Amino acid sequence: MEPPFTLVDLDRTAPPPVARDRVTVAVALEPRDPTAEFDVLLTAAPDPPRPWVGCADPYATAELLRSIVNRHPAACVALVQVLRMGAVLPPPDRLVLESLAYSALLAGGDFRGWLASARSRTPRPAAEPVRVDRVGERLTLTLDRPWVRNAFDATTRDALCEALEVAVADPTVTRVDLYGNGPAFCSGGDLSEFGTARDPAEAHRVRVHRSPAALLQRCAPKVTAHLHGACVGAGIELAAFAGSVTATPDTVIRLPEIGMGLIPGAGGTAGLPARIGRERTAYLALSGTPTNATQALRWGLIDTLCPRCPDLTGRSEPATGRGAVRSRPCGG
């Protein structure tokens, strides 16, 4: 089967009709108003306007994307299809659409191949994966598994849902601050749990029923996410729903799921496009390219830069007993 990739040089040719089963990338030396829909638009111009992505050599970047699509065709096509359809759906339905596609890919050969080649990881759970503190009208939620860089497992998901349900239901909570303890805000989904769902249909039902992203959608104006260090996969997917996102200069953002034969599954195809558009979201997800805080600020993926990391560290392994260190976040 022909690789599902189309490259259009807007400096030389007219755009072809949109193909729903292909990833379509456009390149141009200078950005312009596109006369057709594209999944990614690349230009050599520095700091171009949305939806364009600036790069030193847009043609080389396009060929890199071609190679990625050739290696992971099912995931890449599913990604751009979800992004296109999601643009016309109500926000809650975008999460359902994403989950349906994610669940289908869990049963795919590409993901199973990645899983077979991945090294085995031992689960390292926390008794209290999300620390909850309330002072007056302010609710502070801290992802608290620093020994795995706050990797997002099912227990963390459930604990975060419980805390966010309070924020949604209680009108006296007027501010919610979301932090990550340790060297990173969140390193993404816990790889020790990948592949443990034996029934993709049931996984979809659970993902929709227990969705931190859906709850964040409902209380977004109250929420400020405070990013630092690695913000990978679920780490940035959830943070993007916050009404305000701050980040320290060491913040690095990445969407790695395509390389696993998957698409973002924690709300990334719904939250990121609302901030940076579907084309730039597609670029981040297809390429897997790390994005620093300065670029994220220019694009609107974060709103402000904070000059220092919050002081939340103090332990590198699970703490036990009454003597466990509990450090407080900065005021934000």
Interval 124-153: pLDDT, tens: 999 999 999 999 999 999 999 999 999 999
Whether domain 99-254+292-305 has CATH 3.90.1170.40: no
- Which of 160, 180, 276, 175 is CA-nearest to residue 226? 180
Q: What is the pLDDT of residues 243-253, one digit of tens each?
A: 999 999 999 99
b/e string for 283-321 if b means 16 or more Cβ within 10 A?
bbbbbebebebeebbebebbbeebeebbebeeeeebbee
User: CA Rg, the chain, in Å?
Assistant: 20
Q: What is the pLDDT of residues 17-48, one digit of tens each?
A: 778 899 999 999 999 988 789 999 999 999 99
Give the model's confidence band at 312: pLDDT under 50 very low, under 70 low, under 90 confident, else very high. Answer: low
Phi–psi pair at 306, nearest 5 degrees: -105, 135
Break the chain into its structural domains and give their ranges: 5-71, 99-254+292-305
Question: What does pTM read for this prediction?
Answer: 0.92
| Cα 101 to Cα 68: distance, rounded to the nearest angstrom | 19
